[in-house]
Amino acid sequence: MEQIVSIDVGGTSIKYGLWNESEQSLSSKGKVATPKDLSGFYDVIKEIVTKFDDEQVDGVGFSIPGAVDQKTGVIGGISALPYIHNFPIQAELENLLNLTVTMENDANCAALAEVAVGAASDMNDVIFIIIGTGVGGAVVLNRQVIHGKHLLGGEFGMILDDKNERLSLRGTAVHMAERYNGDSGQKFTGQEVFELAEQGDAVAQRYTDDVYQNLARAIYNLQFVVDPEAVIIGGGVSANSNFIQKLDTEIKNLVKGVDDIKIVPTLIAAEYHNDANLIGSAYNFFNKH
């Protein structure tokens, strides 16, 4: 097998590209909006794969949210796409596409890519935090992804704050903008709220500070779970050096306030940014075929 279609399913958009295994290259990339229901999802996936009818394609690798059981082809857990869960979706996709299909959790895909050839290529033990519509993650020990007994290893978005609210709701720009807009009556994107904060808007700063503080607290606590060499930040924000710099500053401020072990987690931006999931899903496919 030489080429596959790699597909990264996100809560807002579905990205795709053609992966060539011998050249280790990703080409013909594109992006479409994520459908609201399963029927629409299947239509979009079929349309994406059909774009490559003129290519010799040997299969399709999916990077997808949730607790992916690669033995049963069922996605457990929860995600922003409730219609993909708790039925044999992998078998249905194989019937739909008439191609071999593999699936792996999206954050684990990012970890596979970054450990193989990216920001963590020279590390053994790392944590990945993927910040998108929600917060995902992966734990890598001895260069192996840890799935865990319930396939929930690295699901950092489920971490609760002191108000029992999940990190996926309190640590992303998307949900921060929803709160800001709900309170102000505006229709800003997360990026626009961050820009307002940069311009000195005190209200916007209060909302963005909440994001930084929640992420900083989670990262500080995770450092004491497996004591990784670094915490790799992925997702759309990984391309924003200002975001990571501010998050690093927030963690340092947090550490100043603790009395005991004053360890500051090392933050590193993912090297492949939004392509990491696509590359990782291809690595997962060829690891299995």
Instruction: Evaluate whether residue 93 is within a structural domain.
Output: yes
Domain identity same for 213 and 153:
yes
Domain identity same for 76 and 7:
yes
Q: What pLDDT shows up at residue 236? A: 76
Instruction: Evaluate whether residue 159 is within a structural domain.
Output: yes
Q: What pLDDT shows up at residue 30? A: 97
Domain identity same for 176 and 53:
no
Domain identity same for 131 and 256:
yes
SS (H, E, C) the chain: CCEEEEEEECCCEEEEEEEECCCCEEEEEEEEECCCCHHHHHHHHHHHHHCCCCCCCCEEEEEECCEEECCCCEEECCCCCHHHCCCCHHHHHHHHHCCEEEEEEHHHHHHHHHHHHCCCCCCCCEEEEEECCCEEEEEEECCEECCCCCCCCCCHHHCECCCCCEHHHHCCHHHHHHHHHHHHCCCCCHHHHHHHHHCCCHHHHHHHHHHHHHHHHHHHHHHHHHCCCEEEEEEHHHHCHHHHHHHHHHHHHHHHCCCCCCCCCCEEECCCHHHHHHHHHHHHHHHHC
Domain identity same for 52 and 75:
yes
Instruction: Evaluate whether residue 287 is within a structural domain.
Output: no
Domain identity same for 71 and 99:
yes
Domain identity same for 255 and 136:
yes
Q: What is the pLDDT along the chain (289 residues), one digit of tens a residue?
A: 599 999 999 888 999 999 999 999 999 999 999 999 999 999 999 999 999 999 999 999 999 999 999 999 999 988 889 999 999 999 999 999 999 999 999 999 999 999 999 999 999 999 999 898 889 899 999 999 999 999 999 999 999 988 899 999 999 999 999 999 999 999 999 999 999 999 999 999 999 999 999 999 999 999 999 999 999 998 877 778 889 999 999 999 999 999 888 999 999 999 987 788 999 999 999 988 8
Q: What pLDDT shows up at residue 237? A: 78
Instruction: Evaluate whether residue 39 is within a structural domain.
Output: yes
Domain with 191 in it = 121-269
Q: What pLDDT shows up at residue 1? A: 58
Q: What pLDDT shows up at residue 238? A: 75
